[in-house]
Structure 1
Amino acid sequence: MTPPGRPAPDPDNVPEPSAGPRQARGRTGGKGGYLLGRVAKAMGQRFKALMREAGLGDIGPGEGRVVYLLWRGGSIRQGELAAEAGIDKSTLALTLARMERKGFVERRAAGDDARGVVVSLGPAMAARAPAFGSVSEAMNRIFYRGLSDPEIEDLESTLERILDNLE
C-alpha cells in the first residue's frame, strides 16, 4: 500500500531483480509467465478430457509421456527413458513402480547389465496405446489451431529460449 501523499509506483518502470536501480524493464512484457501458466492449466484440463473420452482416463499425470515414448520406441533402458521423458531418475522410478502395479508397464533386468533395467509396455496398455497416440495428435491440432507454420516455428523458438533462460 502506498503511503498518503506519495505517488503509486509505476508498474511499467519496475526494475528487474538483477538490474541495477537505474535499469528499468521496458513497456512490453510482464504477463508472459501468467499466460504460460494459464496455457499449461488449460492444456492439462483439455488433455484429461480427451483421455477420458478415449477410455484412457486411468492414466495419471506423468504417466502419459512414459506410455507415449514406450509406444513409439518400444522397450528402452530406464535411464534412457528418464532422459527422453525429461524426468529425473528417482521420480521416474516412482512413476514406473505405480505404473507397474497397474499393469501399464513391465520392467526386467537388462541382459548385459545386472544393474540395468529395461522398461516396456504391459500387454493391456500396449493394446490401448494407439488411442493415446490419437489423443496426442488431437491435442496438437487443438493447440496449434489457427497458427501458420511460421507462427508455430516462432512460438516454439521463443518457448525454447524462455526455457533456456529458466534452466
Structure 2
Amino acid sequence: MSHATPAFPLIRVDISLNDTEQSLEIEPRELLIDVLRERLRMTGTKRSCDVQVCGACTVLVDGMPTSSCTTLCADVHNRHVTTIEGLAYEGRLDPVQRAFIAHGALQCGFCTPGMILAVKSMLSLYENPSEETIRHFLRGNICRCTGYVKILEAIQDLVHNPLSFEPEKK
C-alpha cells in the first residue's frame, strides 16, 4: 500500500465551521472550497467558475460573503466560516431560506446557497435595505435561470414582513 506524499509540508488550520471547531492538516495551497466539499462534506458550497465571478461558492467568513473558490483555506485560520448547511437551527430553516422557498426564488437551486448567504450577510448590516442595496449585495451572484425577480421579491418581503418567516417554535 503506497501513501501519496504531499507536495508541500502540511500546516494546521483551526476554523469554526458552522459553530463547530475543526482542526485540519492541509497543504498551504489548498482552496477553501476543496477542503469544505471534499474533506468536510459541505457540498452546499458549489463549484462553478473557479474565478470569483458567479457566487456559487459563496460562504461567510466572519459574517462577510467570501468566494471559497479563490480563498486559501490557510487564510481562514482562527476564523468563523458559515456554509449553507450552518444556517438551519435545530432542524428549522433560517428566515432567509424560508423566504426563498415561499417565493419560489430557487429555480434550479445551484446559485441559491450563495445567494442566501450573501443576503444573510447583508441583513446583518442593514435592517431595512433598499432595492439598490439588495442588488449591490447580490452583484457577485449569477442566476443562470434568471430568477432575479423572485429573489428580489423574497428578500423585500422578508425585510418588510420578518415575522412571517420566523420558524415555528417546537
TM category, shorter: 0.3 to 0.5
TM-score by length of 2: 0.33
Q: Which has the higher contact order (CA 8 A, sep 6+)?
A: 2
**Greater Rg over alpha carbons, structure:** 1
For normalisation by structure 1, the TM-score amounts to: 0.34
